[in-house]
Amino acid sequence: MNAAPKVLRHLSDLLAAGLVSDADRAALEQVAARYAVSITPIMAGLIEVGAADDPIARQFVPRAAELETTAEERADPIGDEAHSPVAGIVHRYPDRVLLKLTAVCAVYCRFCFRREMVGPGSEVLSPAMLEAALDYIASHEDIWEVILTGGDPLVLSPRRIKAVLDRLAAIDHVKVMRVHTRIPVVDPSRITDDLVRALRIDGKATYVVLHANHPRELTEDARAACALLIDAGIPMLSQSVLLAGINDDPETLGALMRAFVECRIKPYYLHHGDLAPGTAHLRTSIAHGQGLMRHLRGRYSGLCLPDYVLDIPGGHGKSPVGPLYCREADEPDRYLVDDFNGGQHCYPPKD
């Protein structure tokens, strides 16, 4: 009987799978000592071994370039700590908070903005910390939405997830719960009937936001896992990161957004790459991202258009950084508007 494929967690696993070269061992040992490594069997199976710059490998397989830190990079690139009143809570916006239940993920992305804070050993919030976090939410009546994040909250058992959601549901002013996860694509077998039941809370709205960056991640198993959630009445949105060599061309980015929509997942955010240490080789320029968004508009359904956003370093929140299509003309009360083919039009028309 063949053994089940295992999660690749160590440099020796990556070497045995042919995903890294022994010539790079010394540098990659330094990378793995600093940043967590984990690649699930389904993601490892999508990697074209030996292919130069395979887009799945670029997301999960460590590289020596991660040892190169630029001057603008920072350990907490989006300023979580500046808005963390108690452990596990980030309260950056008035009506919503992040609840970071765990610092563990099924896979560890090489571009992760929390890469200095996640990984084995961090584990979950202690019972006392979780109580303090829930007390904070209960005591702030302006909190309308709670976003479960981490790490990846769906690495936890359905029982634990349900226990937390039930506690949140008992807080009257919390009306919406949102779960950010990669699990449906990287480990779809975890999306079970028990998990779906845990996520459905009577009288409250639960949304699942799926993180995927390349259309190949939307496998048949991933699509079936998403359908299980959606058919149970749990709406899904997507978030992706714009990544060099992975999805930074119009065809790949457009195919990814279409794949989401085909799965009944509404594209939500396209994040500009954060200034996390050792990630410069995966970041694009904002101008390049704006050009990609211009290409998508008009050529792809409006359902396929996410908001292109930048999380401003220092904890100042997300802002749209997509291209502008309308600007003031030289004449009062008139505007110049670009169409999707690059034509320019005066509004209101002069004729």
Residue 100 has φ and ψ, to the nearest 5°, of -90, 95
Burial of 350 (0-12, 13-18, 19+ CB in 10 A): exposed
- Which residue among 34, 96, 258, 297 is the active-site one? 96
- Which residue among 58, 110, 112, 283 is the active-site one? 112
d(CA 335, CA 318): 27
- For residue 5, the model assigns a pLDDT of 83
In a shared domain, residues 336 and 299: no
CA dihedral in degrees (140, 146, 150, 152; nearest 10)?
160
In a shared domain, residues 180 and 266: yes
Active site residue 226: no
**pLDDT category of residue 37 using cuts at 50, 70 and 90:** very high
In a shared domain, residues 190 and 250: yes
- For residue 196, the model assigns a pLDDT of 98
Residue 76 placed within a domain:
no
pLDDT of 322-350, one tens digit each?
999 999 999 999 999 999 999 999 999 98
Mean pLDDT of 262-272: 98
Domain of residue 38: give its range: 11-67
Mean pLDDT of 202-223: 97
298 backbone φψ class: left, alpha, beta (φ>0; ψ -120 to 50): left
d(CA 7, CA 108): 12
d(CA 244, CA 58): 9
In a shared domain, residues 124 and 219: yes
| Number of separate domains in the chain | 3
Residue 73 placed within a domain:
no
pTM: 0.95
In a shared domain, residues 17 and 105: no
Answer yes or no: are the C-beta atoms of 284 and 244 closer than 8 Å.
yes
pLDDT, mean over the chain: 95
Residues 6+ apart with CB under 8 A from 4: 41
**DSSP-derived 3-state class of residue 225:** helix
Written as one letter, the residue type at 130 is L
pLDDT of 168-186, one tens digit each?
999 999 999 999 999 999 9
- Which residue among 114, 162, 178, 216 is the active-site one? 114
